Amino acid sequence: MTDRVARFEVLGDGHSMLRRSGDWASLVRRFVLGEIGTNPRTPTSRTPCDHRHPPD
Amino acid sequence: MSGHVPGRALPRLEPVGRRRPDPAALVLVAHGGRAGSRESGERRRLTYWRMLPFAKDLRRAGPELGVFMLRYRHRGWNGADRDAQRDVEAMLAELRRRHPGVPIVLVGNSMGGRAVLRAAGADGVVSVCALAPRLDGSDPVAQLAGRSVLIAHGDQDRWTDPRQSLAYAVAPRP
């Protein structure tokens, strides 16, 4: 139905999203700002894919 | 929504940061809840506080954005009533009324993630971000046509199932 789907698995975190809160926030921020055109779309959100997001 | 009274009535939009009269884009943030509960959504519970930092971060990073927290009528999804989804849809209509033509991005967590995915077909929605959405394999995907979708799930989540997110993320592909 859409080819613009990205799915991330955030390694080492659970439902609370607390252990890697900065990474979760960064993921959302980059996605939203990329979608509205404030920032360039990140490569991961330009391409349909399945990602694992290891700790930085 | 018929009968919606701005202000204290539920559901309602809670602006995050100073309200902009002419936002370039709108973000609606939907927090989590229970599978079944008719308790009022008025009280700010942990699920609300969990998502507020995301909303504040977006407001700081995008001062041109209008960012809103969704305040539900009820605490729960409530089966076929799909109360959270209906509240998202009602508040999308309210956002369109206030800001016609302005693109809308949906962000939701858990129950809210399911609600925003299911409401993504509404006019004005361009993108949807679901964090640890509470999916059960019955959720439709047709409404995602033309939208950008980001789904993220912790691999150690014990409340919602990362495998359901994966199945859902793969399903929409043509």
Quick: pLDDT tens for A13-22.
888 888 888 8
- Kindly indicate the confidence band of residue A47, based on its pLDDT and cuts at 50, 70 and 90: very low
How do A49-53 and B65-71 pair as beta strands?
A: unpaired
What is residue A52's predicted lDDT score, i.e. its pLDDT?
61
| Cβ atoms A31, A42 nearer than 8 A | yes
What is residue A15's predicted lDDT score, i.e. its pLDDT?
85
Quick: pLDDT tens for B131-145.
999 999 999 999 999
Between residues A43 and A3, the one the model is more confident about = A3
Nearest of B30, B138, B120, B124 to residue A2 by alpha carbon: B120
Our CA-based measurement puts residue B4 at a distance from the nearest CA of chain A, in whole angstroms, of 28
What is residue B80's predicted lDDT score, i.e. its pLDDT?
97
What is residue B61's predicted lDDT score, i.e. its pLDDT?
94
Between residues A39 and B122, the one the model is more confident about = B122
Which of B103, B126, B174 minimises the CB distance to A3? B174
Nearest of B104, B80, B139 to residue B30 by alpha carbon: B104
What is residue A48's predicted lDDT score, i.e. its pLDDT?
45
CB contact under 8 A, A7 and B153: yes
What is residue A10's predicted lDDT score, i.e. its pLDDT?
86
What is residue B56's predicted lDDT score, i.e. its pLDDT?
97
Our CA-based measurement puts residue A6 at a distance from the nearest CA of chain B, in whole angstroms, of 5
Cα B112 to Cα A3: distance, rounded to the nearest angstrom: 23
CB contact under 8 A, A28 and B129: yes
What the block records as the tokens of B88 is 């998202």
A22–chain B Cβ distance below 8 A for any pair? no
Mean pLDDT of chain A: 77
Helix B111-118 × helix B46-61 angle, to 10°: 60
Residues of chain B positioned with their CB less than 8 A from the CB of A10: 152-155
How do B104-109 and B65-71 pair as beta strands?
A: unpaired
- CB contact residues (below 8 A), chain B span 84-113, against chain A: 103, 105, 107, 109-110
What is residue B169's predicted lDDT score, i.e. its pLDDT?
85
Count Cα neighbours of B29 within 13 Å in the Cβ-side half-sphere.
Answer: 26
Our CA-based measurement puts residue B121 at a distance from the nearest CA of chain A, in whole angstroms, of 11
Q: What is the DSSP string of B121-159?
A: TSTTEEEEEEES----S----GGGTT-EEEEEEETT-SS
The whole-number average pLDDT for the span A8-35 is: 89
Which of B24, B132, B147 minimises the CB distance to A2? B147
Our CA-based measurement puts residue B119 at a distance from the nearest CA of chain A, in whole angstroms, of 15
Low-confidence ranges of chain B (pLDDT < 70): 1-7, 172-174
What is residue A4's predicted lDDT score, i.e. its pLDDT?
80
What the block records as the tokens of B32 is 């989590």
Which of B103, B156, B169 minimises the CB distance to A36? B103
Whole-structure pTM value:
0.89
What is residue B1's predicted lDDT score, i.e. its pLDDT?
45
Give alpha helix (H) positions in A1-56: 21-36, 43-46
Secondary structure (3-state) at A42: coil
